[in-house]
Amino acid sequence: MKVCVYAICKNEEKFAERWYNSMKEADKIFVLDTGSTDGSVDTLKQLGVTVKQEIIKPWRFDEARNKSLEMVDEDADICVCTDLDEVFESGWREKLEKIWQDDTTRASYTYNWSLDEDNNPIISFYSDKIHARKGYKWTHPVHEVLSYDGIENRVFDESIVINHYPDREKSRGSYLPLLELSVKEDPTDDRNTHYLGREYMYYGKWNEAIDTLIRHLNLKKATWKDERCASMRFIGRCYKHLNRPLEAEMWYKKALIEAPHLKEAYTELALFYYDMEEYEKAIPLFEQALSIKKDYKTYITEWFSIDFNIYDFLSICYFHLGKYEKSLDYISKALAITKDERLLKNKKIIIEKCKE
């Protein structure tokens, strides 16, 4: 099989060699540079990458992705779209070729979006940016997705892994206007309507976020309960920031009813009570979240719903209630997962309280 990697790039010199070394299992690698002012282009060319330069005005991620896809050889069997802050774990090509059949159109794999200092995944979900050469195009100005002009035949191997090491210095400033444009172009698109509401929330535009997220919930295509639950949780957050706790609590409870299979539904309501120092209300919700063992690998996953964080919150709740043995039990469970300095200090304090 002929396997080709393609990507877009702007000022990624510091990531270029690391990215290339993880992608070089491919037969060819193509990069569309959209205006780098550092040494990205020279570095990539020296590594043997085929590079083309083009300024996309007005900027749209879908147009840039499509331009980079156009660079890929027409006879390619498999196209792999990545970004330069992403790294494949070795052996990905061999695994991909084993699952790819003559009629396969697309492949899914594990995407570790966030990792800790020891390179252990914190937030993971399944992604699907590996596809056949023909029939695909990118759509939407931001949070772009692959669209196919036929019936897809997908394959999946969770042992194919990409790790994400984002550049924390890069601005997300273009996302909000692009999301507004995306929703204007397709007001019925549930995914980007949800993203737009979330983006308003990130910017502290609480009322705009509430209005947009409620509109998402009323869209006919907004049927995925996990995403609906997230919209409800975000509405709750907005009301919390507006100092309207009754509405916040109501929406958190709606989210729990919508998706009781998700840890996030329990933990966000628990955190609401935790922040109000209502620890007796928070504890059963945190413990219910821990009873959910299935790992739903979607972008809906939240950092506060990871087990060691829940253990941490429970330890603090029990500490404030004077139940130090229970507090010690949960802090020990958290430390079995991560040796965080703050947790270690907390454990010493709890041990002293247990001795009293």
Indicate whether 179 and 152 sit together in one domain: no
Residue 35: inside a domain = yes
CATH number at 128 reads 3.90.550.10
Instruction: Say if 303 falls within a structural domain.
Output: no
Residue at a domain's end among 100, 130, 164: 164
Query: Structurally, how many domains does the chain consist of?
Result: 2
Domain-embedded: residue 316: no
Contact assessment for residue 314 and residue 299, using Cβ atoms and an 8 Å cutoff:
no
Distances (CA, A) of 23 to 85, 159, 161, 201, 222: 12, 16, 12, 36, 36
For residue 271, what is the domain's CATH number? 1.25.40.10
pLDDT in tens, the chain (356 residues): 999 999 999 999 999 999 999 999 999 999 999 999 999 999 999 999 999 999 999 999 999 999 999 999 999 999 999 999 999 999 999 999 999 999 999 999 999 999 888 888 888 999 999 999 999 999 999 999 999 999 999 999 999 999 999 887 777 778 999 999 999 999 999 999 999 999 999 999 999 999 999 999 999 999 999 999 999 999 999 999 999 999 999 999 999 999 999 999 999 999 999 999 999 999 999 999 999 988 777 888 898 998 889 999 999 999 999 999 999 999 999 999 888 899 999 999 999 999 88
Instruction: Please count the residues of the chain.
Output: 356
- Is 136 inside any structural domain? yes
In a domain, residue 354? The reply is no
Contact between 109 and 119 under an 8 Å Cβ cutoff? The reply is no
Assigned token pair, 170:
């890069």
* Same-domain pairing of 15 and 74: yes
Q: What is the pLDDT of residue 118?
A: 82
Looking at the fold, whether 138 and 254 belong to one and the same domain comes out as: no
**Residue 25 covered by a domain:** yes
Tokens for 70, please give them: 């156009």
Choosing from 225, 254, 282, the residue where a domain stops is: 282
Name the domain boundary from 127, 142, 164. 164
Give the pLDDT confidence score for residue 355 in this predicted structure: 87
Same structural domain, 103 and 182 = no
- Kindly state whether residues 158 and 220 are assigned to the same domain: no
Nearest C-alpha neighbor of 5 from the set 46, 16, 153: 16
Considering the domain architecture, whether residues 75 and 150 belong to the same structural domain is answered as yes
Residue 85 lies in a domain: yes
What are the start-end ranges of the E strands in the chain?
Answer: 3-9, 28-33, 50-53, 78-81, 86-88, 106-115, 121-131, 136-139, 145-148, 154-164
145 and 27 fall within a common domain: yes
Question: What is the span of the domain harbouring residue 81?
Answer: 3-164
pLDDT score recorded for residue 122: 84
pLDDT for the residue numbered 145: 95
Model confidence, pTM: 0.89
